[in-house]
Chain A
């Protein structure tokens, strides 16, 4: 356990379903991130939140909708996904200004869209 918990670990959903991924950290970090990791592709930064405010959205399709109700929780709401959205979704957190601690990552949610 790294201190960042992601649920569920695995998710299979149909293209018409709506589901949510959850990320939780109790490390006292102020910043939280969503990354997408597809096979044979670099890590893709999707969203950044600092002190609950979204500070970065890297041209992510609107079928992905993030929510950050407080500094400890981050959600990724999914709807009408495509098969190419199948990937490992990683959440990370950090202090403002990463310093020598860098990011702390969760174990990820393996998403399969059928």
Chain B
């Protein structure tokens, strides 16, 4: 079946890099996504990667995709206190039906 797993919590110091990991099961997913949820808000699309890519960089964000191991990671360089949030990994699932499968979310705590 379809399943997306993430570790629940990560704590880093301001200025360090953060790496949030995710594993997924559906190898036919066309897109994989990272969403950010700040306290009291909805989920905001942070970035995505197309399944035929290994890496995507967008300013401080780097997404790495290992299709063989079905592993996705999000690296945030120079982590700031404003990056404290819950980060959700999601896959587009079989056949790009429009139904996203979300992980349970990783809470990132950034200490000053």
| Interface, chain A (partner B; CB < 8 A) | 2, 4, 6, 31, 41-43, 45, 48, 50, 56, 90, 92, 94-108, 110
Q: How far is the CA of A13 from the CA of B90 in the complex (A)?
A: 32
The residue in chain A whose Cβ has the minimal distance to the Cβ of B95 is A97
Of the candidates B41, B50, B104, the one having the most CB atoms from chain A within 10 angstroms of its own CB is B41
Which of chain B's residues have a CB closer than 8 A to the CB of A100? 31, 48, 50
Q: What is the distance, in angstroms, from A104's C-beta to the closest C-beta of chain B?
A: 7
- Kindly identify which residue among A43, A96, A105, A106 contacts B98, using a CB–CB cutoff of 8 Å: A96
| Interface, chain B (partner A; CB < 8 A) | 31, 33, 35, 40-45, 48, 50, 88, 90, 92, 96-100, 102-105
Which of chain A's residues have a CB closer than 8 A to the CB of B33? 102
